[in-house]
Chain A
Amino acid sequence: RKEVEQDPGPFNVPEGATVAFNCTYSNSASQSFFWYRQDCRKEPKLLMSVYSSGNEDGRFTAQLNRASQYISLLIRDSKLSDSATYLCVVNTNAGKSTFGDGTTLTVKP
């Protein structure tokens, strides 16, 4: 079993839809959590950190459930420009990062 597992996808949604991605992690001592976005043939870049109380950045909402060891990303009112691969990342308290395989989102007109 992988340390970090994501919904396999792909997700194909129409513009304006709401879409949610889930990610589970196996190390209960994990300390920090993030969502990254990767555009085709480019390096992944930080989309948002995930805080224990949940956090929102515009149309994006991230949630953390430590008891069940999963994090989620909700995208509201999807735009064509949201089409990308979304990766969850989990850090140990020493700063070691483990990446999920990513979930591909395609938003269609």
Chain B
Amino acid sequence: DAGITQSPRHKVTETGTPVTLRCHQTENHRYMYWYRQDPGHGLRLIHYSYGVKDTDKGEVSDGYSVSRSKTEDFLLTLESATSSQTSVYFCAISGGGPTMNTEAFFGQGTRLTVV
């Protein structure tokens, strides 16, 4: 399995509090992504990164910010959590290997509940 870990795996937080999710990779992949997935829905891209300090918005970026200060870490921050941000969050990586074009790998997900 690819070396990608998410932390925490589960979190319950109160509305209005800041929350940071961490994605850590040991694969030296160029791209890192944060997705959310809600029941009955596909993956929705929140933000992605194409290098250290290089990030871009996805389709559902409102209310979220990201940072990538090192190749291996990609942080997702909810500045002020709302109940609509209750979801499962997946981190993914891609752009590795000798051709920089291997398949993507996913972390195991973080289940976030905002009460």
Q: Report which A residues bind B (CB closer than 8 A).
A: 31-32, 34, 41-46, 49, 85, 87, 89, 91, 93-97, 99-102
A99 contacts which chain B residues (CB < 8 A)?
A: 35, 42-43, 45, 104
| B103 close to A (CB within 8 Å) | yes
Q: Cβ of A102 and Cβ of B43 under 8 Å apart?
A: yes
The SS class assigned to the B binding surface is loop
B95 contacts which chain A residues (CB < 8 A)?
A: 94-97
Please name the residue on chain B nearest to A96 by beta carbon. Answer: B31
Q: Cβ of B100 and Cβ of A94 under 8 Å apart?
A: yes
Question: What 1/0 mask marks residues of chain B from 78 to 113 whose CB sits below 8 Å from any chain A CB?
Answer: 000000000010101011100011111011110000
Shortest A32–chain B CB gap in Å is 5
B29 contacts which chain A residues (CB < 8 A)?
A: 95
Bound complex: CA A54 to CA B86 (Å): 40
